[in-house]
Structure 1
Amino acid sequence: MKYVVALIVALVLNAAANLMMKVGMKSVAGGGGMLKDGPAGAVLTILKNPVLLGGLICFGLNAFCYMFALQSRTLKISLAYPLMVGGGYAIIAVFASLSPLLRERLTVGQWAGVGLVLIGVILIAALTPPEPQA
């Protein structure tokens, strides 16, 4: 159970990191972007922008939670990765469309795609046999 919780936390952190990166980069995109002053300038840009820094921290925490989940003897990568990616895709679509900072408008076809991705993830989860315990 602790590995499933770690996977869910990793999924949420990954989605949060991506959303924070998008919001943070909206303030940086003008004037040549964050790499206009080279790698050192990019690092300074990240350190001066709390949203970008928060996104980077979320990515780091995501990696640790995901690695923790993957050490489970019963959680298959063929299940963990689709849950992480598909679930993250759905979370990002919902928050990007609801966020006043992003204001993304998804078409009916895009929402149908999100639904199909979730159906696919549910099918993978339902049809993945448990890993035999050693």
Structure 2
Amino acid sequence: MVCALAATCCYGTASVLQAIGARSVASGPGSGVDPVLPLRALRRGPYAAGLVLDCAGFALQIVALRTIPLYAVGAALAAGLAVTAVVAAWLLKARLTLAEWSAVGAVCAGLAMIALASGAEGNRAGPAALRWYLLGAAVAVLLVGALAGRIPDGPRALLLGLGAGAGFGVVAVAVRLIDSPALPRLFGNPALYALLLGGAAGFTLLTSAFQRGSVIVATAGMILAESAGPAVVGVLWLGDRPHAGLEWVAVAGFAAAVTGALALSRFGDTGTEPGRQPDQGGGPP
């Protein structure tokens, strides 16, 4: 759980840094998702720093996913929105109201309940077909996300965030389904390709959401999809269970964490960085 919370701090801070970097890059042609936007944004220092934090967070998340249930990791990641809100208030000068701080408190209380109730991770391998379903889900995320990128800016950030969360959820489940690092067996496991495709799709969609939408709204959508999907898979097919008698504590904690995260998306909008306008490219990073 400590690793999951540390990963959350990395991801939450990275979201704001990547939003700053993405908004300083000119949009590509058309209104859809720009697949090369992350590569162009890498020229910006804040975006590159966010990517480094993402890598550190992913390493910590792998440790957590191999140790505690998927629903516990998902709930911990929900706290990323609280981290994003606090960092956005500092770097993007976004003001948090009392209602928003209350939502942050709900997320933290929910995490404490889940930590109290969580048992060890399940030991089931899941059905063999689950790995192929996961790969299909990763492809679907990429296709649906491309379509969502063409809708108006209002709901665009939320829908792209949901798509990104679904992609990262695929990654979380795939980590549990990769049961051997031996190369011949590893390359024959569809979960490996689901992990790579889901991660690439999620990263591209989230960067596009950050460029023209609210950081908090996009992150809320991501957290909702990233938390709920893997939690259901873990309980139904991988044997994740809370401690006996504390099931209600886990359910209540998960609900509080996700509800608090979603409540944050309803209040305030970080908008764009004050005093900054996207440049037209070609200038110094």
The structure that is helix-richer by fraction is 1
Long gaps (5+) in structure 2: 124-285
Query: 1:18: how far off?
Result: 0.6
Length, aligned pairs only: 120
Match in the other structure for 2:57: 62
Q: Aligned equivalents of 2:121 and 2:105: distance in 1?
A: 31
Q: Give the structure 2 partner of residue 7 of structure 1.
A: 4
CA gap 1:64/1:21 in 2 versus in 1, 3 angstroms: same
Q: 1:14 Cα shift?
A: 0.8
CA gap of 1:24–1:47, structure 2 versus 1, over 3 A, is closer
CA distance in structure 2 between the aligned counterparts of 1:91 and 1:70, rounded to whole angstroms: 20
Q: Deviations over 1:31-51 (max 9, x none)?
A: 5x2x339544x2552231121
Overall identity of the aligned pairs, in %:
25
Give unmatched runs, 5+ long, in structure 1.
Answer: none
Deviation at 1:10, TM superposition (A): 1.4
2:82 aligned with 1:90: yes
Counterpart position of 2:120: 131
Superposition TM-score, scaled by structure 1 size = 0.72
TM-superposed CA distance for 1:115, in Å, is: 1.4
Contact residue 78 and residue 107 of structure 2 kept, 8 A = no
* Cα distance in 1 for residues equivalent to 2:24 and 2:45: 11
Question: 2: CA distance between counterparts of 1:63 and 1:133?
Answer: 21
Cα deviation, residue 132, structure 1: 8.1
**Letter in structure 1 aligned against 2:40:** T
Amino acid of the residue matched to residue 94 of structure 2? E
What is the TM-score with the length of structure 2 in the denominator?
Answer: 0.37
1:118 aligns with 2:108: yes
Aligned to 1:59, what secondary structure does the other structure show?
helix
Of residues 3, 26, 29, the one that matches 1:36 is 29
CA RMSD of aligned residues (A): 2.6
* In structure 2, C-alpha distance between the alignment counterparts of 1:65 and 1:48, rounded to whole Å: 26
